[in-house]
């Protein structure tokens, strides 16, 4: 600390020159008091500074980079916020938390995978406009029995800033669209595959049963070396041994699994026989409730399955929807932006009372349905594109959707009616189709995510469980 003297820059004693030796007694008293004060301050300053540093570290930790993901970074604050949210969710489910370093590893890896997918979506031009985002937020609020403003108040009251929640939802929608574009939308199912599955189910006599499953995956990278595969198998065997000795499956999934449901305790929820991935079908159908499988090998790694419960009975009735739509899509002449404008104009004209079938016949590029005024007939679950069905199923009879996008282009859909239909055969085929699609999608998703991870640059800036840095 520098104390300005009477002649130093900033001194108020402008009546004295640098060479003057005159000193006023009153001035000497003031200067002496000032120096005494400064000395006292220097004595207590280190203690004050140490106290301030302690408070700062406790209340406002320095933000630092914990991982580099391609050309992006993950900050300590981002990891801590996500970790806090995950811990709160697990505690609300009465799940015993694993050690913090184990949970931190899982959460950090989840953030990394989200970053990688958002980066890829950005490169592919996948964006969510505010109108689409607001529509999704309203739906979330309605599902919770609240208006959007009430939902916002609840979030703010619980300490979750609405703008943060809003951007989190935007990211999740972007990731969902990316996955549909890269994997789900490219999955096709043939009638022959459906016939083969139904024949297998009939011969096994497994129709009607449902299984509540949980899953642990010890992953291996694509084209892994024998040494890497052997290490993964050893780790999976150790996990299985601990489960056999009574370790909690949920805890082990959170701590060890590389699967997408790891932070949910590996829970796959209820699945009918025709919704179980082919890789697991034979094993699961031979197991009893509470039983844990041996290791199951796949290109993605080593799997452990637990049958948490089994229940019987198969639905004979299904809800069918009668709907019609208008489809527009970009081409060499019409840009994406122009398509959205044209469809918004059509939506406005329909809202003002113009005839939907006439507009569909005049404008829809789906020529098959356009000839019938956009009529899709009665459709059962699984008959249409999953994204299209999701929007259609959210509508009431008579309601017209706002413009939305699928892999086929941009749509407006109107629900005309719904009915309960006795469709045992159709239901079996629809469920078989959906099951095959889910199997293919799940397997392809695992491969795609591992490839995305392996082909990306990821550098850890914090210590791993072993104490090393990657």
Give CA–CA dist 249/21, Å, rounded. 86
Paired with 263 in beta bridges are: none
- How far apart CA 92 and CA 265 sit, in angstroms, is 13
- Whether pTM > 0.75 for this model: the answer is no
Residue-level pLDDT at 413 = 96
pLDDT at position 343:
94
Structure confidence at residue 355 (pLDDT): 95
Ranges of beta strands (E only) in 54-136 are 65-69, 72-75
Selected residue with higher pLDDT from 400 and 281: 400
Domains of the chain (ranges; CATH) run: 1-60 (no CATH), 68-186 (1.10.4030.10), 206-315+427-441 (3.10.50.40), 317-422 (3.10.50.40)
pLDDT digits (tens, 9 = 90+) for 60-102: 456 789 999 999 999 998 898 888 888 888 888 777 788 888 8
Q: What is the pLDDT of residues 109-165, one digit of tens each?
A: 999 999 999 999 999 999 888 888 988 898 888 888 888 899 999 988 888 889 989
Coil vs helix vs strand at 375 = strand
Mean pLDDT of 5-25: 36
328-374 per-position pLDDT tens digit: 998 888 888 899 999 999 999 999 999 999 999 999 999 999 999 99
User: Over the stretch 232-260, which tens digit does the pLDDT of each residue have?
Assistant: 999 999 999 999 999 999 989 998 999 88
Supply the pLDDT for residue 435.
Answer: 79
Q: Which residue has the tokens 């094993």?
A: 283
Q: What is the pLDDT of the chain when averaged over all its residues?
A: 80
Which of 23-27, 191-195, 323-327, 433-437 is the most confident on average?
323-327
pLDDT for the residue 422: 66
DSSP-assigned letters across all residues of 383-423: SS-HHHHHHHHTSPTT-BPPPEEETTEEEEEEEEEEEEEE-
pLDDT of 22: 36
Cβ neighbours of residue 407 under 8 Å, at least 6 residues apart? Answer: 180, 181, 185, 385, 387
- HSE on the CB side for 285, CA within 13 Å? 20
**Segment 206-217, tens digit of pLDDT:** 556 788 999 999
Per-residue confidence (pLDDT) for residue 18, from 0 to 100: 32
Q: What is the pLDDT of residues 312-328, one digit of tens each?
A: 645 467 789 999 999 99
């Amino acid at each position: 600390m520098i104390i300005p003297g009477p002649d130093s820059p900033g001194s108020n004693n402008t009546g004295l020159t640098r060479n003057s030796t005159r000193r006023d007694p009153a001035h000497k008293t003031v200067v002496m008091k000032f120096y005494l004060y400064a000395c006292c301050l220097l004595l207590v300053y280190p203690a004050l500074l140490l106290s301030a540093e302690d408070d700062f570290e406790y209340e406002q930790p320095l933000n630092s980079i914990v991982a580099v993901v391609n050309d992006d970074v993950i900050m300590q604050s981002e990891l801590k916020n996500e970790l806090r949210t995950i811990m709160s969710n697990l505690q609300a489910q009465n799940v015993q938390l694993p050690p913090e370093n184990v949970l931190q590893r899982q959460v950090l890896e989840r953030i990394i995978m989200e970053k990688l997918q958002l980066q890829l979506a950005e490169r592919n031009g996948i964006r969510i406009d505010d109108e689409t985002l607001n529509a999704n937020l309203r739906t979330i609020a309605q599902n919770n029995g609240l208006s959007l403003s009430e939902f916002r108040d609840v979030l703010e009251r619980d300490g979750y800033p609405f703008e943060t929640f809003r951007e989190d939802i935007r990211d999740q929608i972007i990731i969902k669209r990316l996955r549909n574009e890269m994997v789900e939308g490219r999955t096709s199912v043939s009638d022959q595959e459906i016939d083969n599955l139904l024949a297998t189910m009939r011969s096994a006599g497994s129709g009607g049963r449902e299984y509540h499953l949980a899953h642990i995956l010890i992953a291996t990278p694509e084209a892994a070396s024998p040494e890497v595969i052997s290490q993964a198998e050893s780790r999976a065997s150790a996990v299985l041994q601990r489960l056999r000795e009574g370790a909690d499956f949920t805890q082990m999934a959170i701590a060890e699994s590389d699967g997408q449901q790891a932070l949910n305790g590996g829970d796959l929820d209820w699945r009918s026989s025709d919704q179980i991935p082919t890789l697991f079908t034979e094993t699961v159908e031979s197991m009893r409730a509470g039983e844990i499988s041996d290791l199951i090998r796949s290109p993605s790694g080593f799997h452990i399955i637990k049958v948490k419960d089994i229940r019987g009975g198969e639905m004979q009735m299904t809800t069918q929807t009668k709907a019609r739509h208008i489809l527009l899509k970009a081409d060499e002449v019409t840009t994406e932006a122009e398509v959205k404008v044209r469809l918004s104009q059509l939506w406005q004209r329909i809202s003002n009372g113009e005839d939907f079938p006439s507009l569909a016949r005049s404008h829809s590029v789906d020529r098959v349905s356009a000839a019938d005024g956009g009529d899709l007939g009665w459709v059962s679950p699984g008959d249409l594109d999953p994204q299209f069905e999701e929007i259609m199923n959210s509508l009431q009879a008579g309601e017209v959707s706002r413009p939305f996008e699928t892999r086929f282009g941009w749509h407006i859909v109107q629900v005309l009616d719904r009915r309960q239909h006795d469709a045992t055969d159709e239901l079996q085929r629809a469920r078989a189709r959906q099951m095959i699609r889910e199997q293919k999608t799940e397997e392809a998703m695992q491969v795609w995510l591992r490839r995305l991870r392996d082909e990306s640059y990821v550098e850890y800036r914090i210590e791993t469980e072993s104490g090393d840095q990657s």
